[in-house]
């Protein structure tokens, strides 16, 4: 397993992120937020600078996360994203030889990080499935994969909900960005029991760990992998058994310091060795 990291989990300055990441032995980076905004709807010069830095430092960009569909609730919002964000994201994905984009599963009615976990995701309205199917058809035409990341604010907020949406949409270009901690935030348990259902669709993996508070509306406390509620030894064992060979990226949601990133990387190394 070649472990990477979501670059802005270290710093939105990609050069700083790569410098610190290199110190702890990380050579693979997902691009999400940069200094000028969310990629690729930020400075074109900064996107080009990311490209130059990656080439100059010999590091690999493994994914692009443009934020598509995370906060999308209306037909006008969806149309605008497909008209403005999606084409630019696909252009950069092709330019960087990426397999696809990390996206989300459409915002539940007025959901926030505080209220999202309390809003059920069963039976999303038909227009949500129609939008996902449209995006999937477009991605198939463009020969890119859309990897849906479960989020508490979205209709795709856990494994089964995401799988159901993908099946209903009926597009082979739709896969899953597997993030068990996001699902744990929603369901308040380690979602290992969902693994077999989502496994055939996993195309990318995010790693973070968390401890929940008694307050259902409170943001969880994010911790070093192995120090929270996710049994990552079991998850990695399942990924190996499923012959998963795609990117695995740290997304600690912690402070981004060299010490913290090193602790997270070393913790994952220990966990993988214990499988």
Q: What is the residue-level pLDDT of the chain in tens, covering all 275 positions?
A: 789 999 999 999 999 999 999 999 999 999 999 999 999 999 999 999 999 999 999 999 999 999 999 999 999 999 999 999 999 999 999 999 999 999 999 999 999 988 999 999 999 999 999 999 999 999 999 999 999 999 999 999 999 999 999 999 999 999 999 999 999 998 999 999 999 999 999 999 999 999 988 876 778 999 999 999 999 999 999 999 999 999 999 999 999 999 999 999 999 999 998 64
Distances in Å between the Cα of 47 and the Cα atoms of 51, 97, 128 are 7, 14, 31
CATH class of 64-247+258-273: alpha beta
Say how far apart CA 219 and CA 215 lie, in whole Å.
9
Average pLDDT in the chain: 96
Three-state secondary structure along 16-66?
HHHHHHHHCCCCEEEECEECCEECCCCCHHHHHHHHHHHHHHCCEEEEECC
Rg value, the chain, Cα: 18
Q: Are 174 and 166 in contact (CB under 8 A)?
A: yes
């Amino acid at each position: 397993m070649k472990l990477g990291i979501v670059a802005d989990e270290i710093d939105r300055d990609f050069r700083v992120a790569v410098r610190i990441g290199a110190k702890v032995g990380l050579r693979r980076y997902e691009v999400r937020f940069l200094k000028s905004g969310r990629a690729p709807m930020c400075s074109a010069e900064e996107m080009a600078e990311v490209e130059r830095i990656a080439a100059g430092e010999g590091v690999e960009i493994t994914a692009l996360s443009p934020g598509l569909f995370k906060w999308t609730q209306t037909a006008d919002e969806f149309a605008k994203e497909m008209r403005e964000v999606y084409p630019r994201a696909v252009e950069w994905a092709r330019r960087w030889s990426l397999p696809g984009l990390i996206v989300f599963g459409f915002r539940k009615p007025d959901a926030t990080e505080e209220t999202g976990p309390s809003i059920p995701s069963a039976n999303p309205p038909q227009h949500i499935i129609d939008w996902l199917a449209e995006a999937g058809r477009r991605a198939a035409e463009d020969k890119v994969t859309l990897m849906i990341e479960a989020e508490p604010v979205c209709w795709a907020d856990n494994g089964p909900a995401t799988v159901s949406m993908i099946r209903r949409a009926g597009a082979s270009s739709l896969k899953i960005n597997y993030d068990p901690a996001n699902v744990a935030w929603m369901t308040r348990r380690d979602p290992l029991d969902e693994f077999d259902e989502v496994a055939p669709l996993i195309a990318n993996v995010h790693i973070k760990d968390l401890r929940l508070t008694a307050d259902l509306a409170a943001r969880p406390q994010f911790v070093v992998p192995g120090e929270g509620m996710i049994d990552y030894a079991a998850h990695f064992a399942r990924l190996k058994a499923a012959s998963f060979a795609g990117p695995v990226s740290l997304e600690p949601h912690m402070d981004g310091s060299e010490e913290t990133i090193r602790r997270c990387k070393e913790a994952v190394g220990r966990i993988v060795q214990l499988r």
